Amino acid sequence: MTKSKIFLYLMLAFILGVGSGSFFDISSQVVLVIAIIVVSLVAVFYPVRGRGTLRALAASNGVYRRRLIVLIVLLLVAFTFGVVRFDASESLTRVLTNFNDTNSSVQLSGYINGEPERLIDKQRMVLQVKEIRASDYIISADEKILITINLYPEFEYGDFILMEGKLQSPKNFDDFDYVNYLAKDGIFSLSYYPRISKITQNGFSDDKISILEKIKISMFTQIFRFKNAFKDSISRSIAEPNASFIEGVLLGSRESIPQDLKNAFSRTGTTHILAISGYNITLVGLYISYLFIFFMRRQKAFWFTVLGIILFTILTGASASVVRAAVMGILVLVAYREGRFYDMTNSIVFAGALMVALNPKVLRFDVGFQLSFLATLGLIYFSPIIRDKLEWLPIFWSFKENFIATVSAQLMVLPVVLYNFGSFSLISLPANVLILPVIPLTMLFGFLSGVLGLIWSQLGEIAGLAAWVLAEYEILIVKFFSQIS
């Protein structure tokens, strides 16, 4: 067995351990005892006798048996690590939950960790709590809370705030596990419309805010300012709602898109176009690589492309979903660069194991995580099969490739979609096939309109005209198909 296969099996065993720990109440001590028993039984009772090749292998100092035992031990260790990792994530000390549902107010101070989500009549934001004040006690903390407040005054990432209000525990909806959805991001408390005010960073002692946090806040604040200026440039260059649509395609920003248009995308199974996915990241990577190939060798251009994707990920906010998409996009580029099928499988499984190790809860409770990896696996395993069966399809306007990619991804994610949402859009296939070929040009001209608009508004409007036409076509397709039952 090759080392790459052993590596693949170890990663799968770890992921299986995390999955088992998330679905079943498995004690790590029990897993360890079972592992010891299984290894002992294999070592004692594995048959040495055999015929042909097995006899020869057994005769050569038991090499085959020892290798098998070592592999089983390693798989059990990886599985045990998975169970232990999930148990560890469940046993983290939480202070804020002691104040949930107590009908008494508490004072919290910290900074806004992430871009606030602005809706029609309110805004939601995550507060990274650094200090808790209750009665006469001051408690240091490093936890998150989701706050819902009025639409104004507006707050930005990195703002230091003081809030006072009551805390609540999240509650599940009839068809949605909201508790675990928030828990995967480390959020176990909510607060609705507390009193809130801005404070300065000087209100915190140096031990409350680490050096890395200060660097992160400073860097991300500047990046988000550029992002907002870039979005304003697009809004000036392109008329609505097409501008908001292009912002969604480029940056994953959907708060300005009209609700009826969001519903249309949802009914047609094209919502993924409005989110930063591995597909969007891959396009960004390809554009960057095409640019650098003109000035340097392909090997160097590849690493600059990876750096560009990382910077783009930070620009979009570096949320968990965007980071996942960036990992998937980089892996696709690596696979194209290497041209090796099996390496891609190993890379994807490794990326999944790494993300699960960092946050074990995403494996079970993050549907986006599941859909991203399943769709990518569908492209790997189903595309070659479907391509052989559909050689007769026309290649005009990338119809064949988009059709095969859409079918492959949809087949793989179908069970998860049906389980979580209870329905599947049959019109998603024609809608995606008609829209996807235009997305690369939409992203290109949308990006040019934003950048050129920062330099000179008239230049932005010229590029914005082409972006508007492309976006108008995509929106018309979505609206047309959304009217079909």
Give the pLDDT confidence of 97-148 residue by residue, as tens digits: 888 888 888 999 999 988 888 887 889 999 999 888 877 778 888 889 999 9
Asked which of 145-159, 245-259, 276-290 is least confident by mean pLDDT, the reply is: 276-290
Mean confidence (pLDDT) of the chain: 80
What's the mean pLDDT in 465-470?
92
* Short-list 336, 413, 426, CA closest to 372: 413
Place of tokens 């079972």: 34
User: For residue 133, which phi and psi values (nearest 5 degrees)?
Assistant: -120, 115
The pLDDT of residue 470 is 93
What's the mean pLDDT in 325-353?
69
Is pLDDT above 50 for 50?
A: no
Give the pLDDT confidence of 4-42 residue by residue, as tens digits: 788 888 999 999 888 888 887 776 566 666 666 666 666
Place of tokens 């395993």: 381
pLDDT: is 347 or 101 the higher one?
101
DSSP secondary structure code for residue 394 in this structure: -
Is pLDDT above 80 for 396?
A: no
* Short-list 88, 99, 115, 93, CA closest to 22: 88
Give the pLDDT confidence of 281-312 residue by residue, as tens digits: 767 777 777 777 777 777 777 788 888 888 77
Q: Which residues of 115-125 are buried (b: 16+ CB within 10 A; e: fewer)?
A: bbebeeeebeb
Rounded Cα distance, 126 and 146, in Å: 5
The pLDDT of residue 128 is 92
Give the pLDDT confidence of 414-440 residue by residue, as tens digits: 888 777 777 777 788 888 888 888 888
Is pLDDT above 70 for 343?
A: no
The pLDDT of residue 57 is 45
The pLDDT of residue 54 is 46
The pLDDT of residue 466 is 92
pLDDT tier for residue 192 given thresholds of 50, 70 and 90: very high
* SS3 of residue 75 by DSSP: helix
Place of tokens 């055999």: 50
Give the count of beta carbons closer than 10 Å to the beta carbon of residue 311.
Answer: 12
Q: Which two tokens stand for residue 383?
A: 């595309």
